[in-house]
Amino acid sequence: MTNVNSDKLSSARFAQATDAFVEVFTASVDFDQRMAQQDIEGSIAHAKMLCSCGILTEQERDAIINGLTQISREIINGEFVWSIKQEDVHMNIEARLTDLIGIAGKKLHTGRSRNDQVATDIRLYLRSEITQILGQLTRLQTAILDLAEQHADTIMPGFTHLQVAQPITFGHHLMAWFEMLSRDRERLQDCCKRVNIMPLGSAALAGTSYPIDRQMTSDLLGFSRPSANSLDSVSDRDFAIEFAAAGSLIMMHLSRFSEELILWSSAQFDFIEMPDAFCTGSSIMPQKKNPDVPELVRGKSGRVTGHLVSLLMLMKSQPLAYNKDNQEDKEPLFDTADTLINCLRAYADMVPHLEAKKTNMYNSAKRGFATATDLADYLVRKGMAFRDAHEVVGLAVRLGLESKRDLSELSLPELQHFSGLITDDVFDYLTLEGSVSARKHIGGTAPGTVRLAIQTARATLEHDQLSLLITHHKTGAAAPGL
C-alpha cells in the first residue's frame, strides 16, 4: 500500500494522513526555528564524528557540511521555506538537506534521534543566550559602578519600612544593587556548568549500536563533557528550569530597582531626574513625565516568574524518558531569555543618565531624625546602657517633633536636659556627614569605604569578563556584546 503521508520524513509507520488540525496543533516549527543555527552546528559536528568513525565517507561528510552551510545562508537571508508539514526545525532542515544532496542527507540522522537532537539544540541555544545576558549584566553593573563613584559622598536617607532610618550615601545604595546583580551573575555562571553538557548520541533514549565517538562531538561543540546516562539525557530539563529560576531572581531584582526609581522620581520624593528618553507623557495631562521603562520592567518580572512555574509544572509528572510535553519547554524558555536581555539592556542604557538631586536627598535625610541611632551610640560610648540610651534619644526625638527641629538643631542645654553625659562634642555625631563617615568598616556607608568597594568590584568584574572571553574562545561561542 502506498504511504499517503510520504511528504514526511517520519511517516512510513502510518497508513492515514495526519489530521489537518492535529498537524498544526502538534507542530513547533513556528517557534523552534530560532534554534536553526544551533541545529546546523550540531549536525555538522555529528557528521564530522560519523566520518571519523567510518560511518560516513569523506565525500558524504563534505556534501552534508556544504549542504548545511548553504541552508544556514538561506535561513540568514530569509530565503528558507519553512513547512509546517515537517513539524519542527530539525525535520525542515533535514528535508531541505536531502533535497540538496540526495541520499547522503538521509544518512545524517544515523546514530541520533530528534530526542537527543533537540536536547542538544536547546543547550547550545541557552549557552549562547546566557553569554548575551552576562554581557548585558556587565554593562549594567559597570554603569552602576560609574554612577556610584560619582555619588560616593552624596548623602540620602536609608529606609526601613519606607520610613527614614539612617543616613547613607547614594553611592552606597547603588552598590547594594551591584551586589544583587553579582549574585545573579554567579548563578548564571553556575547554571551554565549544567547547561554545557552534551546529550547528542543518546539517541531516542537507550543510546545507539553504532560505534560513535561522543567525546569527539562534545569537543567539537565546545561542551565540557558528554552526558552520562542516555535516559536522563533526552528527558532532562533541569538546566532550563534552573535558568528560569536564575532569570526570575534577576527580574525580581530589576523590579525592586524599578520600584525605587519610580518612587524617587515622584514629586513626593523628588530624589532623581529620569532621562527623558526613557519616559513618556500623558495624553491628557501635559505636566506628566511617566517612568514607563521602570514600570514596564517591574511588570515583566511577573511573566518570567510565570515561565519558571510553567516549566516546573511541565516536568513534575513526566515518566522517563522523552514525552511530547517537552515541546512546551521552548516558548517559556525563549521568552525568558528575550525578556532578560531586553530589560537588562534598557537598564544598562538608562542608568548612566540618572540625575541625582543632591539637595533634596540631603534635606530628606535631615527631616527623619536619621542620626537618632548615632546619639544612642554616643551615649553608650559614654557609659550608658543601650536600653537607657534608647529611651533618652526617644525623648529628644519627641522634643524635635514638637518643635519641628532635627536633633542637630537642638541646643546643648536642651540635650543635656535628657542626660548629663552629653557634652558639646555630641554635635560631631549628630550631623549627617558625621554619621555617614563613622561607618567605615567593611560594607559600611562611609564615602572612603564605598570608593574602596567600587574599586574592588571593578577588579572582580574585569576578571569575570576576562574569564568569560577565555571560555568563549575555547568553545567557539560568540563573545558577549559589550
Helix 36-52 with 114-150: angle, nearest 10 deg: 130
Nearest C-alpha neighbor of 369 from the set 340, 343, 406: 406
Nearest C-alpha neighbor of 34 from the set 126, 142, 100: 126
Q: Which three cell numbers stand for residue 366?
A: 535631615
Nearest C-alpha neighbor of 250 from the set 182, 199, 193: 182
Residue 2 pLDDT class (50, 70, 90 cuts): very low
Same domain, 287 and 393: no
HEC states along 160-227? ECCEEEEEEEHHHHHHHHHHHHHHHHHHHHHHHHHHCEECCCCCCCCCCCCCCCHHHHHHHCCCCEEC
Q: How far is Cα 191 from Cα 239, in angstroms, rounded to an integer?
A: 7
The model's pTM is 0.91
pLDDT at 6 over 50: no
* Residue 140, pLDDT score: 98
Position 52 in a domain: yes
Of 87, 110, 133, the residue that ends a domain is: 110
Same domain, 262 and 342: yes
Position 449 in a domain: no
Q: How far is Cα 111 from Cα 209, in angstroms, rounded to an integer?
A: 8
- Report the alpha-carbon angle 271-294-355, nearest 5: 35
Same domain, 273 and 419: no
Of 357, 388, 403, the residue that ends a domain is: 357
Position 439 in a domain: no
Percent of the chain with pLDDT over 90: 84
- Condensed to tens digits (0 to 9), the pLDDT of residues 334-384 reads 999 999 999 999 999 999 999 999 999 999 998 878 889 999 999 999 999
| CATH number, domain with residue 105 | 1.10.275.10
Same domain, 212 and 269: yes
CB 281 within 8 A of CB 290: yes
Position 44 in a domain: yes
Q: How far is Cα 168 from Cα 174, in angstroms, rounded to an integer?
A: 11
- Condensed to tens digits (0 to 9), the pLDDT of residues 98-130 reads 999 999 999 999 999 999 999 999 999 999 999
Tally of domains within the chain:
3
Q: How far is Cα 468 from Cα 481, in angstroms, rounded to an integer?
A: 12
* Lowest pLDDT segment from 57-61, 98-102, 283-287: 283-287
Same domain, 401 and 338: no
Residue 11 pLDDT class (50, 70, 90 cuts): low
Position 82 in a domain: yes
Of 330, 357, 384, the residue that ends a domain is: 357
Same domain, 133 and 105: no
Q: Which three cell numbers stand for residue 356?
A: 541625582
Find the radius of gyration of the CA atoms of the chain. Answer: 30
Same domain, 271 and 235: yes
Q: Which helix (H) or strand (E) element contains residue 2? A: none
Question: Is 282 among the catalytic positions?
Answer: yes
Mean pLDDT, all residues of the chain: 92
Count the neighbouring beta carbons within 10 Å of the beta carbon of residue 313: 11
**Cα dihedral across residues 362, 366, 369, 371: positive or negative:** positive
Same domain, 132 and 257: yes
The range of the structural domain enclosing residue 390 comes to 372-430
Q: How far is Cα 469 from Cα 317, in angstroms, rounded to an integer?
A: 39
Residue with cell 544612642: 376
| CATH number, domain with residue 252 | 1.20.200.10
Average pLDDT over residues 405-421: 92
Nearest C-alpha neighbor of 125 from the set 333, 423, 372, 433: 333
Q: Which is the catalytic residue, given 113, 224, 233, 282?
A: 282
What separation in angstroms does the CA of 263 have from each of 36, 119, 281, 295?
A: 44, 44, 17, 11
Same domain, 122 and 218: yes
SS3 280: strand
Same domain, 211 and 63: no
DSSP conformational letter for 445: -
Residue 429 pLDDT class (50, 70, 90 cuts): confident
Position 362 in a domain: no
| CATH number, domain with residue 417 | 1.10.40.30
Position 12 in a domain: no
Residue with cell 563573545: 479
Same domain, 381 and 396: yes
Question: Is 419 among the catalytic positions?
Answer: no
Position 290 in a domain: yes
Same domain, 92 and 222: no
